[in-house]
Amino acid sequence: MTREDIKALILEIIHDIDDEADFDDLDPDKPLRDQLDLDSMDFLDIVMELRKRHQLQIPESDYPRLATLNSCADYLEPLLQDA
């Protein structure tokens, strides 16, 4: 997966959680949680969907690395290179 694919995947998962989420003014370097009003339970859904769709086991200590769209791409790019 390319970085762009990964970002699209994250947005698709978020859209699945909240179909009214508005991505128009999303800043890829700012926390997703603040911009999209996601709570910790929603955030867990992103982790769980990544696990379900791509068998990724993301340890809790790495959750902060999924904070922004760009940091998601940084973190997931090596993990999803063959996906």
Q: Which residues bind other proteins (CB under 8 A)?
A: 17-18, 37, 39, 41-42, 44-45, 48, 51-52, 60
Task: Using the structure block, give the residue that is written with the tokens 């809790």.
Answer: 60
How many angstroms separate the Cα of 27 from the Cα of each of 32, 48, 52? Answer: 8, 24, 27
Amino acid identity of residue 62, one-letter, is D
How near is the Cβ of 6 to other proteins at its closest, in Å? 20
In the bound state with other proteins, the residue whose beta carbon lies nearer, of 1 and 17, is 17
In the bound state with other proteins, the residue whose beta carbon lies nearer, of 2 and 48, is 48
CA distance linking residue 46 with residue 42, whole number of Å: 7
In the bound state with other proteins, the residue whose beta carbon lies nearer, of 44 and 83, is 44
